[in-house]
Amino acid sequence: MAKYLIKGCAVIPISGPVIENGAIAISDDRLEYVGSLAELPPDWQQQETIAAADMIALPGLVNSHTHAGMTLLRSYADDLPLQQWLEEKIWPREDQLEREDIYWGTKLALLEMIRSGTTTFADMYFHMDSVAEAVVAAGLRASLSQGLIGLQDDSKERLATGISLVKEWQGAGDGRITTMLGPHAPYTCTPQYLQKVVDAAAALNVGLHIHLAETQEEVANVSKLYGATPVVLVDQLGLFELPVLAAHCVHLTSEEIAILALKKVGVAHCPESNLKLASGVAPVPAMLAAGVRVAIGTDSAASNNNLDMVAEMRTAALLAKGVSTDPTTVPASQALTMATLHGAMALGLDREIGTLEAGKKADLILIKRRQPHLMPCHDLEANLVYAARGSDVDTVIVNGKILMAGGDFKTLDAEKIYAEVDKRIKKFYN
């Protein structure tokens, strides 16, 4: 059993006030103590001490929506509207991706996420068994779902693959992997297909990960086809009777926001992707005011174009202020909560992660604070949200295991990953 003591850091537990000169005791995969160093139990005996006097400790960041394998398509098709981007560029290129391509593209994503402080992510893509293998090797925590498109000829086989993912990988990696079913969206899945997915998820006792109300075009088309907006349609079909992680939720009415709050839907707000694809700006202040669990996600590296949750957190806070013309909207503390605890809640993992409290899983990051852009420090939380960078992350710990220390990766071979990615990209253009 590994026993660590992180000593002297400032601690942002999310569940309570900032702790200066704090201590975090880790026993195996759990947090044993989080509090003042002066009040650390005198009988605590660590095997290793991590001196962190110039560090800030906080829960690992939770990326609530991405498509990790799409790092292979970073900057491939920029500056296009969503439907043209998908139908003319992304989907044809994805048809060329094989299982090993997804594996190495995912490893590149995991490298980037570790480097910028993400410890947990929700992923929807295909060849998800290869994604699960990469996650197990890297040591991260993930909620995985097979992307299901009901309008394709192989929709039945895709659902069977999604069910197999749940049966084979739920709880893998010492419990770090959880699973969902992933119906892509109401505009790519008929109501009949969505109903089949709901029935399968209920039988498996898992939730659903779906894109919802991302563009005005989606809302108009779904309303024309089925006589209801995407949110109302999936509610009528019973999706919200199960745990649902809904990505985007950009175009909503007040009535739909009330539905999301009532049904405890987790919303993955992806501000940078929505801005880049000109999809619009999600009504985050209204959702938060209604009690919706709004988390933060990056979406894929093809539409963002990075997986840096520190940057995404800042964009989420600034965008809400600019659109609302209210500088008090989404203050720093709320942005941090959205990127940690709300993400854990959206993934159904808040009993285990999302805050730094004794008894929870040992998922945390250390950020270097003695840097020009983080000094002076009048407000620690404000510094992290408005001034910090993903590259400021020094140490990443997941499930009590050190994945990065001093900026050095411990579970992934960066040069091997770069070489494999380079090799696979070349075949696109041969």
Q: Is 252 helix (H, G, I), strand (E, B) or coil?
A: coil
Task: List the structure tokens of 278.
Answer: 């000109």
Q: What is the pLDDT of the chain when averaged over all its residues?
A: 96
**Cα–Cα distance, 267 to 359 (Å, whole number):** 27
To 5 degrees, how large is the angle CA 344–CA 116–CA 146?
A: 50
- Spatial CB neighbours of 422, under 8 Å, sequence gap ≥ 6: none
Q: Kindly report, residue by residue over 316-339, the tens digit of the pLDDT.
A: 999 999 999 999 999 999 999 999
Q: What's the rounded mean pLDDT across residues 24-51? A: 96
Residue 429 has pLDDT above 90, yes or no: no
Residue 430 has pLDDT above 90, yes or no: no
The enclosing H or E element of 126 equals: none
Place of tokens 């050190």: 402
User: Residue 349 in contact with residue 341, Cβ under 8 Å?
Assistant: no
What pLDDT is attached to residue 159? 97
End-to-end CA distance of the chain: 50
Q: In degrees to the nearest 10, what's the CA dihedral of 97, 207, 338, 13? A: -110
Whole-Å CA distances, 407 to 111, 245, 391, 404, 413? 11, 32, 9, 6, 13
Task: List the structure tokens of 84.
Answer: 């043209």
Q: Kindly report, residue by residue over 166-225, the tens digit of the pLDDT.
A: 999 999 999 999 999 999 999 999 999 999 999 999 999 999 999 999 999 999 999 999
Q: What's the rounded mean pLDDT across residues 132-153? A: 94
Q: Kindly report, residue by residue over 240-273, the tens digit of the pLDDT.
A: 999 999 999 999 999 999 999 999 999 999 999 9
**Which stretches within 142-281 are classed as H helix?**
155-169, 191-204, 216-226, 230-236, 254-262, 271-276
Beta bridge partners of 361: 30
Strand order in the sheet with 266-269: 61-66, 118-125, 141-148, 177-183, 207-212, 244-248, 266-269, 293-296
Cα-only R_g, the chain: 21
Domains and CATH numbers, the chain: 3-59+360-409 (2.30.40.10), 61-346 (3.20.20.140)
What pLDDT is attached to residue 155? 86
Which of these, 60, 18, 7, lies nearest to 377 by C-alpha position? 18
